[in-house]
Amino acid sequence: MWKREPESATTPNAPSMPPARIESEPVRERISNEPGGRAVIGPSIQIKGELSGGEDLLIEGRIEGKVALAQHAVTVGAKGRLAADIHARAVHVEGEVEGNIAAEELIVLKKSARVRGDLVAPRVVIEDGARFKGSVDMETKRPAAAPTTPRPVAAEEVKRPADAAKVG
């Protein structure tokens, strides 16, 4: 069942394949298909429409529409060109974005960034040299006001207009 064929059984005219190359780059830099990994949209990719998913995203291509990754990070690489609104946990921009950017935690515009649109996040960093036109809103989210329930009113607190007139 697990018997290997003798080497003499291989085809004599088959070209020999070089041994597989083992990459030594750190695991954190590799692109993975596992949840929580990092997806890449390469420079030759163009997308029109809404983009959503469950992992961090590096954009080096072109996107028109909307990018919605509320629980993950979005990086617009130096070659990335977006005519889109972005909503993510954190957004880093090195390329071009024409659209509004909203982040739950942080927006960073690197010195090579060119952004036209509004920024909304609790923390915003704009490096020296970045080009930006729009508004910045760094107000943190406030918890919604708890609905108030009416408290019971004691009988002594109730004043009737007729009782007020008989004071004497």
pLDDT in tens, 24-37: 333 333 333 445 56
State pLDDT tens for residues 75-104. Answer: 999 999 999 999 999 999 999 999 999 999
Looking at residue 156, what DSSP letter applies? G
Return the structure tokens found at 137.
């809103």
Beta pairing partners, 38? 56
- The H or E element spanning position 66 is strand 62-76
State pLDDT tens for residues 98-141. Answer: 999 999 999 999 999 999 999 999 999 999 999 999 999 998 76
Nearest to 67 by CA among 79, 56, 51: 51
State pLDDT tens for residues 48-84. Answer: 999 999 999 999 999 999 999 999 999 999 999 999 9
Return the structure tokens found at 41.
């949209």
Enter the pTM of the model.
Answer: 0.64
